[in-house]
Homo-oligomer: A and B are copies of this chain.
Amino acid sequence: MDGEELRVRRELFDIPEGVIYLDGNSLGAPPKHVAERVQEVVKHQWGTRLIRSWSEGWWEAPQRIGDRIGRLVGAAPGQVVVGDSTSVNVFKALMGAVKGTGRTEIVVDESTFPTDGYIAQSVASLTGLKIRPARPSSLDLTEDTAVVLLNHVDYRTGELLDMAEHTERAHAVGAQVVWDLCHSAGVLPIELDALNVDYAIGCTYKFLNGGPGSPAFIYVPHAKQATFENPLSGWNGHREPFGMQPSYEPDPGIVRARVGTPDILSMLALDAALDVWDDVDLAELRQRGLQLTALFREHVQKLTDLEVVTPEQRGNQISVRCPDAKNVMDELVNRGVIGDHRPPDVLRFGFAPLYVTDEDAVKAAEVLADVIR
C-alpha cells in the first residue's frame, strides 16, 4: 500500500480532529457512510416499508453478511452467520463441539478473554465435562480432550497463535478446536476452510468497525453442519421458520446456527461498515499492521524504559507493562491518545491499519514518554 492508497483509506473514516485513535481493537471507528445508511434503514426500510422489509432483505441478512465476513476469514459461502453476542456464539460452538464425543474435558487457554472461560464453565457444568485451563504453549491435548478453545490473538498481550499448528495438534488426537477470532478478524489473512478448522467465532465491532455491540459471527463448516446441534434452538434456525411447526427441525445448513430475530439496526450498520473491506488485500494489510506496530514499539523502546509485553508473533496490538496503568491511560486520553488498559498493569494500543498513520504511531509513543516522565 503506497502513501496515496493509505490516505484514501483513512478518508473513508470519521476520526475526530486532534485524536490519535489506538483503540480499534476494542471499538473500531465508524466509516463515514455508515450514518447515512443507518438513517436509510430507520426512515425508509423501517418507517416506510414497515413489516414488508422482512421479505425485502432483512430475513436473509444474517447469512448474506455472514458470507461477507466469510471472505475475510477464509470461509467459502454458506458457513458463517451473523447474530447474537460473542459469548452466545462461544456457547453454541462449544456445546456443538462436545455433543456426542464421549470425551471428558474441555481445554481452555488459561489467559483467555474471561467470557470464553466463563461460558466454557457453563458448558462443562451442563454437559458433565471438566474444564482444564492450560497455556497455549503446553496444551497437552489427549484422547480425553473433546475440544480446545483458543484465542487467535491474545486480548492482553497481543500474541498471535499459529492456527495451522494448533489445529493440526488438536486433530492429531481426535480433538476439535474452536477459534476465537475477536482480535484477528480484519487484521490478517485467516484460512478457516484450508486449515479444516472445526468452529470459529468472533466479534465485529473491533477491527471490522461494525459499531458498538454489533452482532458476532459463528463459522460452522459444511462438513459439520448436518450434525451441529444448536443448543439455542430458536425459530430463526428452523427449517421452515414461518411454518409455525410444533417441533424443532433445524435448517440443513448454516441457518441452524441462528436463534431469534436479528437486531437489524446494528446488523445493517455492520453491513455498511463492511463496504470498506470490499477491495482490501488482507496480506497487504497485514504488512501494514506489522509496520505500524513495529514503528510504535521501536519508539516506545527508544523513548521509555517500559517493557513491551507483546511478542514478535503478534496481532495489530502493542501492549506495554506500566505501573499505575489506569492513571497513565487517563492522562493519555486527556492528551488525545486513546488506547485502553487491562488490569493489573497493561496499557494496550491497537493499530487499525485502515485509519492509523505512521505519524500517529510515532506521536503516540512520544506522548506516552512525556506522560510517564
User: Quick one: which of A188-237 are within 8 Å of B by CB?
Assistant: 203, 205, 211-216, 231-236
A43 at the interface (CB under 8 A from B): yes
A323 at the interface (CB under 8 A from B): no
A343 at the interface (CB under 8 A from B): yes
B340 near A248 with CB under 8 A, answer no
B residues near A214, Cβ cutoff 8 Å? 263, 265
B residues near A260, Cβ cutoff 8 Å? 84-88, 115, 216
B residues near A42, Cβ cutoff 8 Å? 30, 34-35, 38, 211, 269
A59 to chain B, nearest CB (A): 10
A266 at the interface (CB under 8 A from B): yes
B residues near A110, Cβ cutoff 8 Å? 246
Given contacts A34-B42, A114-B245, A343-B244, contact A267 B213 (CB under 8 A): yes
B residues near A34, Cβ cutoff 8 Å? 42
B residues near A88, Cβ cutoff 8 Å? 84, 88, 232, 234, 259-260
User: Quick one: which of A1-58 are within 8 Å of B by CB?
Assistant: 14, 16, 19, 21, 23, 26-27, 29-30, 34-35, 38-39, 42-43, 45-48, 50-54, 58
Given contacts A23-B50, A85-B234, A234-B88, contact A246 B30 (CB under 8 A): no
A327 at the interface (CB under 8 A from B): no
B117 near A246 with CB under 8 A, answer yes
B87 near A234 with CB under 8 A, answer yes
Given contacts A119-B234, A261-B86, A333-B52, contact A244 B211 (CB under 8 A): no
A68 to chain B, nearest CB (A): 18
A332 at the interface (CB under 8 A from B): no
B residues near A118, Cβ cutoff 8 Å? 233-235, 238, 247-248
A interface residues, Cβ below 8 angstroms from B: 14, 16, 19, 21, 23, 26-27, 29-30, 34-35, 38-39, 42-43, 45-48, 50-54, 58, 84-88, 91, 110, 113-115, 117-119, 121-122, 126, 133, 156, 203, 205, 211-216, 231-236, 238, 242-248, 259-267, 269, 333, 338, 340, 342-343
Beyond known contacts A50-B338, A87-B234, A243-B343: 20 more, CB 8 A cutoff: A21-B50, A46-B212, A52-B338, A85-B262, A85-B263, A87-B232, A114-B244, A114-B248, A115-B235, A117-B248, A118-B235, A118-B247, A118-B248, A119-B233, A203-B261, A211-B264, A211-B265, A212-B261, A213-B261, A263-B265
| 26 examples of A-B residue contacts, CB within 8 angstroms | A19-B50, A21-B50, A23-B51, A27-B46, A27-B54, A30-B47, A38-B38, A38-B39, A42-B269, A51-B340, A84-B260, A85-B259, A85-B263, A86-B260, A87-B236, A88-B88, A113-B244, A114-B238, A115-B235, A115-B260, A203-B261, A213-B267, A214-B263, A216-B260, A244-B343, A264-B266
